[in-house]
Amino acid sequence: MDTEEIHDKIDNKPAITDVKVEELFHKKLGTDMNYRHSYVWQLVVGHAALQISGLIGIYTAIFHAKLATFIWATCVGLFSGQGITLGAHRCYTHKAYKVTKPIKILLFFLQTMAGQNSIFTWVRDHKLHHTYSDTDADPHNSKRGFFFCHMGWLMVKKHPLVIKKQKELDVSELLADKMMMFQYKYFLYLYFVLAVVFPVSVPMYFWNETLWSSFFVAYCLRYVIILHVTWITNSFAHLWGTKSYDKRIQATNNNIYWYFTFGDGWHNFHHAFPWDYRMSEVGKFGGVSVLLLHFLAYAGLVYDLKTASPNIIHEHMKKHGDQTGQKMLAEKENLKTQKKIY
């Protein structure tokens, strides 16, 4: 039973258990630094070409494209990004909330437009990442360095342990989802229509943008930026920052990442409580994704939003948090004392 299944049954139980940490860090799972990944050169060339197209997109956006095209590309990027963070991530990987049929269809549409593989593939890999975080069974193990966990992992053959654990992962619920399997089966066709043709066609049709500018700004530049925003979750947020909630794990709270993702930067909190829809103890005060969920919940379009209780968070920080976590706890206690005095 994985941590998500545990939390479907037991409310307010910490997501990362002592048993899981023991399995990861004190038994066989770890990082064999003697192992060398084999590059798949077709993928290397493909990713290099994609990055170059993004650079061409920057030049085109500055010197050739119309302002409306840049605004359009920005809007497509922001909305398609929610297909990842609200759809594939919060809803399908961590079951942090439930959706009505219209929102489910919208999230599938946006996630396909984001172009980061099918939801099935994305969720499978991310479940593996959380279950075996920062070990050789993690597809983007941060202990192999910045480049590997940022994007290098997409250019190499999978580690044998990733393949082994991937086969052991229970994905029966995903396989039973007809919409998910439809997207998985026809992803390349859907991707071409929703991520390439649609974003590129709109500027050409509505404000007579050139094919060159529309392609390199509305597709290439937009796509590359959203990819990097997603990838910094695996790199920045696993290499630099504080561990206020759990110092035993690699994930960190990172302010730089917070700005890039518009509020999803408390990654140490997220790995400690992955089923909390806020992805942050202070999520109710900020974060675009959180605000969108609140709006959708108010409209009755999403429901059963899960959170970790303040007491559970407090106890977990007290037991496992680093110095910044202890400082936060002390500040909270001081505030409580001041309120009692006044």
What is the per-residue pLDDT across 204-244, written as a single tens digit (0 to 9) for each?
999 999 999 999 999 999 999 999 999 998 998 999 989 98
pLDDT band per the 50, 70, 90 thresholds, residue 340: low
Q: Do residues 108 and 87 make contact, with C-beta atoms less than 8 angstroms apart?
A: yes
Please report the pLDDT score of residue 265 as a whole number. Answer: 78
Backbone angles phi, psi at 141, to 5 degrees: -60, 115
The distance from CA 300 to its chain's CA centroid, rounded to whole angstroms, is 25
| 105 pLDDT higher than 60 | yes
Q: How far apart are the C-alpha atoms of 270 and 272, rounded to whole Å? A: 5
Take residue 151 and report the two structure tokens written for it. Answer: 């994007």
Task: Tell me what percent of the residues of the chain surpass a pLDDT of 70.
Answer: 87
Take residue 138 and report the two structure tokens written for it. Answer: 């993690």
Could you read off the pLDDT of 136-170 as tens digits, one per residue?
999 999 999 999 999 999 999 999 999 999 999 99
Could you read off the pLDDT of 246-301 as tens digits, one per residue?
999 999 988 777 777 777 778 999 999 999 998 887 654 558 899 999 999 999 99
Backbone angles phi, psi at 242, to 5 degrees: -100, 160
Query: What is the total residue count of the chain?
Result: 342
Q: How far apart are the C-alpha atoms of 66 and 17, rounded to whole Å? A: 52
pTM of the complete model: 0.87
